[in-house]
Structure 1
Amino acid sequence: METVEIDLSERFEIAFNRIHKALSKMVRNVQGNIFSQLVAHGAKRHAIIRSYKDELFQFAKLRNAIVHEKLRADFYIAEPHEDVVQRIEEIAELLEKPVTALSISSNPVVYFNYHSSIRDVILAIHNNPYTKFPVYKEGSCIGILTSGAILRWMAENLSQDSINLTDIRVSDVISYETKHLIDFVDENKDIFAVEELFEKRHAHGKKLEAIIITENGQINEKPLGIITSWDLIEID
């Protein structure tokens, strides 16, 4: 069976239409269905659209030049460069199926109760590559416990070169923890929205220690994933 090769202009138009369809689903309450309006309005509410806004506007201009000047239905007057076609296809894929924050997060999350044994936390530090653990009290997250706080507690409570951890709880150590800024997002948030949260905090001179992902982004829900700035560096 003979394979029909699609030319670059047709590939570009197909990808553009895919993006237009994806924007129409994402952006609501916009009069009409004009591509540029969907981009402009969508960029105000969706980080993923905002990330590609300039490119999307350029694609719209190129699409007009290619499609509106067709000599006939199957003949394009101009043809885009292959790199441009590959780029618009890549963005179409991202808009159709954005990478969720949960997919790049550390999960399942190791977390502890306010009354958990500190020995369990130390064991978790030994068995895991990370050293930041959400702490919950009466069903709500009250912060993050790090290995640094445990070391500070140990340094102050070291007696005769030994420490008895038998009766020590997270509640005894949490006061040694530095106050960390954390945010919560729902499980459907994409990585662009998460990156933006880190950037906004940084722009205001604050360090966002971690983002905890829950079903609805609520502080009193079970953590499904946790993201630090290091996770974003790794995917970049």
Structure 2
Amino acid sequence: MDKAEKFIDTYNKIDKFLRESENSGSYVTFSQKIKNSKNQVVQRYGDELISLGELRNAIVHNPRYGNKPIAEPYESTVKRIEELFEKITNPKKVIPLFQFEVLGAQEEDFVNDILIQMKKNSFSQFPVFDENKEVIELINNNTISIWLSSQLEEDGTIMTEKVKIKDLIPEIEFNENYRFVSRSTSIYEAYQMFIDQINNKERNLDVIFITHSGKKNEKLLGLITIEDIANQV
């Protein structure tokens, strides 16, 4: 196939996928499918997809000479529509991309122990677990800073000996500021959760926890921050 044929073939695959996955009628135009789509990838690249649809129309509806289209897309344009087709039909999932052992603590654990782990492993927040290893809160550097400032003596000293995790919980600025998703969630869906939180509550989610089916009573498989995922989408 030449470049125009490859381009049209991939365009048709995207059009078919949208029609079948969202039950669009045959009368619905490509641009309408894009605008009405609930697919997070389609929404993210909507303007670009509509432009590619206009290019398709220019190729298909213009006169042909020697059974060849009057215009042919650049090789980079063909590669781009193929990339978008892959993103739409097979988007990256949060697992295995963000899969790792999540370190946390229980309410009766001492703060010093988790601070050592935070420094050693270069992480800035950790979940607090109950006796069943279920997440009950999230403590981050901001929580620790607020608590430390409240413990500051007049002479500038801070006593942290024998302090437990439960002593930090009252200093959490936004309680339960986290969400859970399943391992099969796409990175675009997860990213949109951060954006929706910012738009709706004017603050960011601290983290998104990943479990097998998105239930909080399941083992944590990993976690995501907005900084982590922004580099992926």
| Separation in structure 2 between the aligned mates of residue 70 and residue 91 of structure 1, nearest angstrom | 28
| Residue matched to 2:208 | 211
Root mean square deviation of aligned Cα: 3.2
TM-score after normalising by structure 2: 0.78
Cα 1:101–1:73, aligned 2, differ >3 Å: closer, same or farther?
Answer: farther
Alignment of 1:149 onto 2:146: no
Secondary structure class of the residue paired with 2:139:
strand
What secondary structure is seen at the aligned counterpart in 1 of 2:102? coil
Partner of residue 190, structure 1: 186
The letter of the residue matching 1:177 is I
CA distance in structure 2 between the aligned counterparts of 1:129 and 1:232, rounded to whole angstroms: 18
Unaligned runs of 5+ in 1: 1-5
How do 1:58-97 residues align onto structure 2 when only pairs under 5 Å count? 58-69=51-62, 71=64, 75-97=68-90
**What is the identity, as a one-letter code, of the residue corresponding to 1:84?**
T
1:54 pairs, out of 41, 47, 59, with 47
Mapped pair 1:177 → 2:162: no
CA contact (8 A) 1:106 1:227 kept: no
Q: Is the 8 A contact 2:60 2:69 kept in 1?
A: yes
Aligned partner letter, 2:191: E
- The 5-angstrom pairing of residues 131-150 of structure 1 reads 131-137=124-130, 138-150=132-144
CA–CA distance in 1 between the matches of 2:63 and 2:51?
19
Would the aligned equivalents of 2:34 and 2:42 in 1 still touch at CA under 8 Å? yes
Distance 2:22 2:48 in 1: 21
How far apart in 1 are the matches of 2:141 and 2:71? Answer: 60
> Which letter maps to 2:196?
K
Query: C-alpha deviations, 1:86-119, integer Å up to 9, x for none?
Result: 2212211212321223444362322233333434
110, 116, 123: which one pairs with 1:130? 123
Residue matched to 1:3? none
Q: Tell me, what secondary structure is at the counterpart of 2:208?
A: strand
2: CA distance between counterparts of 1:90 and 1:214?
29
Alignment correspondent of 2:225? 228
Question: CA 1:162–1:198 in 2, change beyond 3 Å: closer, same or farther?
Answer: closer
Conserved 8 A contact 1:136-1:142: yes
Spell out the pairing of 1:93-132 with structure 2 (5 A cutoff): 93-105=86-98, 107-132=100-125
| AA partner of residue 229 (structure 1) | I
Q: Deviations over 1:112-139 (max 9, x none)?
A: 3333343431222022121111222355
2:22 aligns with: 28
User: How many equivalent pairs are there?
Assistant: 226
Deviation of 1:9 after TM superposition, in Å, equals: 0.6
Distance 1:72 1:225 in 2: 56
Distance in 1, matches of 2:164 and 2:67, equals 73
Identity of aligned residues (%): 27
TM-score scaled by length of structure 1 = 0.78
Report how far residue 209 of structure 1 moved: 1.7
Q: Deviations 1:185-207 (Å, cap 9, x if unpaired)? A: 22222222222222222223222
State how far apart, in whole Å, the 2-side matches of 1:16 and 1:73 are: 23
Contact 1:213 1:224 in 2 (8 A): yes
Are the equivalent residues in 1 in contact too, given 2:19–2:25 (CA < 8 A)? no
Aligned partner of 2:9 in structure 1 is: 14
